[in-house]
Structure 1
Amino acid sequence: MFHFKALIQRFYHLQSERLETYRLFEEGHEAYLRTGPQYDFDHYRQLVHEITQAFCGISNEVLQIKEKLHRDFDRPDLSEHIEKLQSKEKEKLELTAKLQLARQRAQDHPEDEDCQEKIQEIKHDIIKNKETLSEIMQDFKYDSEESD
């Protein structure tokens, strides 16, 4: 049986693992773009597979924490924050994948200005998404420390 504090710590740890996974995803994609115009797709597909598995593992554990907070600690407020967070994290992953596709398109069609515009749009959405994620984390931190 996890103590409340240990559960909260584990949650923060998983969030930082998530950020690290994004970093690897970004680096891997940049490396993939450098293999153009032939593109080493097999290598990239393997990366996407590994990243997806990492994100799934993190998500599953975060959902278990959400359940425990609700059930064992009677903290529906915290589990609600996690629910919002999960939905925004899912959106962030979708936006990140979209951005990667847009970057490849821009690299393959340097003459197409729409590509650059699309990249800027997606980047803007990612910034808004990250701001929302950060607000949710702030609320979570505030509400979880309130009970100390």
Structure 2
Amino acid sequence: MVPSDCKALIKRFYQLQSERIETYQLFEEGHEAYLRTGPHYDFEHYKQLVNEITQAFSGISKEVLEIKAKLHRDFDRADLSEHIEKLQSKEKQKLELTAKLQLAKQQAQDQPEDEGCQGRIQELKHEIIKNKEALSEIMQDFKYDSEECD
């Protein structure tokens, strides 16, 4: 249920972002546990985790998009709506990078002689850092612009 007043919407948006961070932590912990099951990986358990994580991210995104629409439509806050649009795009990119990093980590574990794997892991970690910096900037802009939402 999406709240109906502007401040409540913004508060809910921040809660959803916190949930997203927690979901990433669960995803990372689950992947580390999965890697520990190698070389005969417990893929079924990991596949179930990925399904649960996907559902969690999908639910969060759906509600964030509802908030975005309400801010634009009901409160004439195209600026806040635009920040959320940018944020959603960066979050999608972050999830894609995270999945690529997880695959690279498994590949490095399975093929320790392949020196290119470590380089790929470092490259992906750097891209994730840049992505997180961009997310942080968007959140700062959102915070600044949302302070006048009374």
What band does the TM-score fall into relative to the shorter chain? over 0.9
Q: Deviations over 1:91-114 (max 9, x none)?
A: 000000000000000000111110
> 1:145 is matched with which residue?
147
> 1:82 is matched with which residue?
84
> 2:95 is matched with which residue?
93
Length, aligned pairs only: 148
Match runs of 1:1-148 below 5 Å? 2-148=4-150
Between the aligned partners of 1:26 and 1:147, the Cα distance in structure 2 is 35
Q: Deviations over 1:65-98 (max 9, x none)?
A: 0000000000000000000000000000000000
Between the aligned partners of 1:3 and 1:64, the Cα distance in structure 2 is 13
Between the aligned partners of 2:41 and 2:22, the Cα distance in structure 1 is 25
Q: Which runs of 4+ in 1 moved over 4 A?
A: none
Question: What TM-score, normalized to structure 2?
Answer: 0.97
Structure 1: runs of 5 or more not aligned:
none
Q: Matched residue of 1:72: which SS?
A: helix
Between the aligned partners of 1:134 and 1:84, the Cα distance in structure 2 is 11
- What is the percentage of aligned positions where both structures have the same residue? 81
Between the aligned partners of 1:66 and 1:97, the Cα distance in structure 2 is 26
> Structure with the greater relative contact order (CA < 8 A, sep ≥ 6): 1 or 2?
2
Question: What TM-score, normalized to structure 1?
Answer: 0.98
